[in-house]
Amino acid sequence: MNNPLLLALALAFALPFFSSLLSLSHPLDPLTPNEINQIQHIIQNSNLGSLPNLTFHFVDIAEPDKSDVIRWLDSKSQPKPTKIKPPARQAKAVVRAGGKTYELVLDLATNSIVSNHVYTGHGYPPLSFMELFQASKLPLKYSKFIDSIVSRGLNISEVSCIPMTAGWYGETVTTRILRVNCFYRGGSVNVFARPIEGINLLVDVDTMRITSYSDRFRAPLPKSEGTDFRSKKFAENSIITYNISGPGFKIDGHNVRWANWEFHLSFDARAGVTISTASVLDPVTKNFRMVLYRGHVSETFVPYMDPTTEWYYRTFMDIGEFGFGRSADTLQPAIDCPASALFLDGYVAGGDGKAQKMANVICVFERYSGDVGMRHTEINVPGRVIRSGEPEISLVVRMVATVGNYDYILDWEFKQSGSIKVGVDLTGILEMKATEQIYSDGKTGNTYGTLVTENAVAVNHDHFLTYYLDLDVDGNRNSFVKAKLQTARVPPSANPPSPRRSYWTVVKETAKTESQGRVRVGAEPAELLVVNPNKRTRLGNQIGYRLITGQPVSSLLSDYDYPQIRAGYTKYQVWVTAYNKSERWAGGFYADRSRGEDGLSIWAWKNRAIENRDIVVWYTVGLHHNPCQEDFPIMSTIHDGFELRPANFFERNPMFKQD
């Protein structure tokens, strides 16, 4: 490394890691590469190491108890920080060995396994990248498949195969399988645009063998002309400039400070970016007050709407089946984030358990997009026109998950107004099906999707991204309130009489139990609030944060359809549950081939009390996608998201300062 700039960059990127070894560590810090390798070493040297085919599917910190984390944080924020021992550093690992799934908890200080037991329930842990890669290569050496390719007049060297998860369709015994679909490049880089239709190929993952093959029919191969998705304007070698530390924010270890916000930023293979202990500065007391204890994407559900043999099973749960962190892509400066952003690395365990660096998977930057933060013009002061305002400047934390054909841009945006805005942008390539059809009659179209080019139908589907939002609004005892806006009538007998006949007023309902915490957004006008019933503003209003939802989208599948049973929580956009450290993955931890026996909708059946308790809000960003021609050859971003906005949390607008 003889380029001084590169050396400076390398040092700067290494800094957060080194500094986390010092006093800046936080109990929720992600595993360091050394810790990941230590875990691999402990497990490899245990009795599991002597079993055949040891593979690592999940490695993460074992989350310390919230009370310990809060106690540790509080001790740090004292004027004279008291020395308290941080919670023990433990890790959780899920491995497969000898055809079984093992759940382990490890203690890193003592280099030991605390617990180890075999998981015997339904469903499997996330597939490792190695397994997906190996499965994708199997067809290319499989003689029946080669025959199918040759008999179609195609060249096997131009075929790319992509493994897809298989779901669950009522089988009483399941094994770990992948369905592999193949595509023809033939000079194009848009793999998904040229599906080789009609072939069904099943791979048994544990033995890594093709166990079932059929070639049912042929459909014309969609043409390669016009499928290239690479933009000419932003070539791969566009100017790259780095700014090591942005002007307004500071990162110590994994702790981020910016304007009136302070939060912890981490990255793991399953959730990707995780925001923890996000607190906002109270301009009156000068104390940081907690808003969000922990937030991340918990599960995704992407069911395709084509029930035919080659397509019915495409009902993906990407977080549980692959992992969003695992799918995180290296961000391109000046395209994915401003060139001046700070780019951060993440570390995950590979299938062999060893630490793998994922370079530049998070970016952090200050955003000034030309928007207005607040303004006013006053013309009623005699003889004067008074104009005032401030631009909107916010801090954005971003990652991009590329899961097969789709790219999800996931933003956490912190605002000086006290809002946290979560943004989801979808882009990428559509999943297409080859067809005889070359012309859409415009009326009926195609039952399962839209003809986007000759011989290619982009199949209808949904995207559901369910967020885990452990809000702790100014303390961890909170309630969920539906502030319903109801029409009130003015009685003719009103005294004094009013010419008005009606107005609306707010009727607040506090959810007592989990069954009252489910909401179909839009069914009635209501503001959704998480309040701290134990605290009030100086004026006596209940302290809270409002959930401003995006598009109200819920699943249209029938309740007893298998994929819907697995993702039952997608019938409501909002759920509120009692906090339980082990309830984090909305579709269940073992999502691959799951049967819907674990997960959000099941936990909520307990109907626990949620009033004045530690509660978790789950919000699903949803999009029904009936594709159109503009989504081809690459779809421009479509945006949705939600906002957590203070509602009587502050004494007044926290952005407003008169110094």
Q: Report the interface residues with Cu ion, using CB under 5 A.
A: 625
Task: Quickly tell me which residue has 């490890």 as its tokens.
Answer: 106
| In the complex, least distance from residue 152 CB atom to ligand NAG, rounded to whole angstroms | 13
Q: Which is nearer to ligand NAG, 288 or 579 (CB)?
A: 579
- Of positions 1, 2, 3, 52, contacts ligand NAG by CB under 6 A: 52
Q: Which is nearer to ligand NAG, 66 or 645 (CB)?
A: 66
Interaction of residue 67 with ligand NAG, rule CB under 6 A: no
Interaction of residue 103 with ligand NAG, rule CB under 6 A: no
Residue 496 preceded by cis peptide, ω within 30: yes
Q: Rule CB under 6 A: which of 240-269 touch ligand NAG?
A: 241, 243, 247
What does 99 bind: Cu ion, ligand NAG, none (CB cut-off 5 to 8 Å by kind)? ligand NAG
What does 369 bind: Cu ion, ligand NAG, none (CB cut-off 5 to 8 Å by kind)? none
Instruction: Verify whether residue 406 is a known catalytic residue.
Output: yes
- Which residue is catalytic, options 268, 318, 407, 631? 318
List of E strands, 490-627: 502-510, 526-536, 542-548, 574-578, 615-625
Q: Which residue is nearest to ligand NAG (CB)?
A: 340
- Of positions 23, 110, 207, 487, contacts ligand NAG by CB under 6 A: 207
What does 356 bind: Cu ion, ligand NAG, none (CB cut-off 5 to 8 Å by kind)? none
| In the complex, least distance from residue 208 CB atom to ligand NAG, rounded to whole angstroms | 4
Q: Which is nearer to ligand NAG, 342 or 543 (CB)?
A: 342
- Of positions 155, 287, 308, 309, contacts ligand NAG by CB under 6 A: 155
Interaction of residue 157 with ligand NAG, rule CB under 6 A: yes
Those residues with Cβ within 8 angstroms of residue 383's Cβ, 6 or more apart along the chain or in another chain? none
Q: How far apart are CA 288 and CA 93, in angstroms?
A: 34
Instruction: Single out the residue of 360, 319, 338, 344 nearest to residue 585, CA to CA.
Output: 319
Per-residue contact string for residues 314-353; x = within reach of ligand NAG by CB under 6 A: -------------------------xx-------------
Give the three-state DSSP class for 61.
strand
Cα 437 → chain centroid: 36
What does 330 bind: ligand NAG, Cu ion, none (CB cut-off 5 to 8 Å by kind)? none
CB 268 within 8 A of CB 60: yes
| In the complex, least distance from residue 460 CB atom to Cu ion, rounded to whole angstroms | 9
Interaction of residue 514 with ligand NAG, rule CB under 6 A: no
C-alpha distances out from residue 483 to 183, 507, 509, 529, 653, Å: 51, 6, 6, 7, 21
Rg from Cα positions in the chain: 27
CB 553 within 8 A of CB 624: yes
- Of positions 11, 21, 81, 99, contacts ligand NAG by CB under 6 A: 99
Q: Which is nearer to Cu ion, 282 or 425 (CB)?
A: 425
Q: Which range, of 112-120, 124-132, 580-588, 612-620, touches ligand NAG by CB under 6 A?
A: 580-588
| In the complex, least distance from residue 99 CB atom to ligand NAG, rounded to whole angstroms | 4
Centre a 10 Å sphere on the Cβ of residue 509 and count the other Cβ atoms it contains.
12
List of E strands, 205-282: 209-215, 249-252, 255-258, 261-268, 272-281
What does 238 bind: ligand NAG, Cu ion, none (CB cut-off 5 to 8 Å by kind)? none
- Of positions 53, 238, 287, 308, contacts ligand NAG by CB under 6 A: 53
- Which residue is catalytic, options 293, 406, 569, 619? 406
- Of positions 582, 630, 658, 659, contacts ligand NAG by CB under 6 A: 582
What does 625 bind: Cu ion, ligand NAG, none (CB cut-off 5 to 8 Å by kind)? Cu ion
Q: Which residue is nearest to Cu ion (CB)?
A: 625
Q: Which is nearer to Cu ion, 453 or 532 (CB)?
A: 453
Dihedral, CA of residue 553, residue 557, residue 561 and residue 566, to nearest 10: -10
Q: Which is nearer to ligand NAG, 575 or 649 (CB)?
A: 575
Q: Is the dihedral of CA 283, 288, 291, 294 positive or negative?
A: positive
Give the three-state DSSP class for 19.
helix
Interaction of residue 120 with ligand NAG, rule CB under 6 A: no
Instruction: Single out the residue of 193, 447, 162, 438 nearest to residue 304, CA to CA.
Output: 447
Those residues with Cβ within 8 angstroms of residue 644's Cβ, 6 or more apart along the chain or in another chain? 291, 292, 419, 420, 421, 422, 469, 471, 545, 546, 547, 548
Q: Which range, of 23-31, 206-214, 277-285, 328-336, touches ligand NAG by CB under 6 A?
A: 206-214
Q: Which is nearer to ligand NAG, 464 or 589 (CB)?
A: 589
Q: Which is nearer to ligand NAG, 23 or 50 (CB)?
A: 50
Of all helices (H) and strands (E), which one includes residue 35?
helix 33-44
Q: Which is nearer to Cu ion, 360 or 450 (CB)?
A: 450
Q: Which is nearer to ligand NAG, 52 or 492 (CB)?
A: 52
Interaction of residue 63 with ligand NAG, rule CB under 6 A: no
| In the complex, least distance from residue 623 CB atom to Cu ion, rounded to whole angstroms | 7
- Of positions 24, 208, 483, 548, contacts ligand NAG by CB under 6 A: 208
Residue 616, strand partner residues: 577
Residue 1, strand partner residues: none
Q: Is the dihedral of CA 310, 130, 315, 313 positive or negative?
A: positive
Pairing of strands 272-281, 261-268: antiparallel
Instruction: Verify whether residue 569 is a known catalytic residue.
Output: no
Can you give 388-426 as a three-state secondary structure string? EEEEEEEEEEEEEEEECCEEEEEEEEEECCCCEEEEEEE
Those residues with Cβ within 8 angstroms of residue 216's Cβ, 6 or more apart along the chain or in another chain? 198, 199, 200, 309, 310
List residues with catalytic annotation.
318, 406
Q: Give the residues lining the site for ligand NAG (CB under 6 A).
A: 52-53, 98-99, 155, 157-158, 206-208, 241, 243, 247, 339-340, 580, 582-583, 603
